[in-house]
Amino acid sequence: MSPKEKSYKSYELYCSFALNRLVVELNINVYQNWEEDKINDILAQQKGVSKGDIKYEIKSNNYMTNKVLSKLEKEGLIESVRLEDRYNIKITKKGVLHVKKFNEFYWEMFSEHIIQHYKYRQLPIWFEKLK
């Protein structure tokens, strides 16, 4: 893929970027073995991110951001709460387990896109291990 070439990202990849952004906020390694209670404790303490943070993460417009968040919420991978002036997005336990299970698949299918997406910042540690 040339540097000037704009690449099309699949819907699943946008969802993966959004979920990985939420896991990064938890400051955990998804491939670490946890006890069930520890995951629940970590999730209970999460602050969440704004809809704007997700929009920035997936580098897309408002329409695609809403579509991605709606899909993730319907699948039970995130929770979205409307506050006074913004939405607060949090990942669920099911979402963390989804990231843990499917990141390797996403890496195999979309490694070029993932590398391009994280071009100007560090890949999450779990993608680094898949390289």
pLDDT tens digits, residue range 63-95? 999 999 999 999 999 999 998 888 999 999 999
Q: Could you give the CA distance from residue 47 to residue 33 in angstroms, rounded to a whole number?
A: 22
Instruction: Report pLDDT for 2.
Output: 46
pLDDT at 1 over 50: no
Name residue 90's beta-bridge partners.
Answer: 79
Angle at 94 between CA 106 and CA 72, to 5 degrees: 65
Q: Which CATH number fits domain 11-102: 3.30.930.10, 3.40.1160.10, 1.10.10.10, 3.40.50.1220?
A: 1.10.10.10
| Predicted structure pTM score | 0.84
pLDDT tens digits, residue range 7-25? 556 788 999 999 999 999 9
Q: Pick 3 or 24 by higher pLDDT.
A: 24
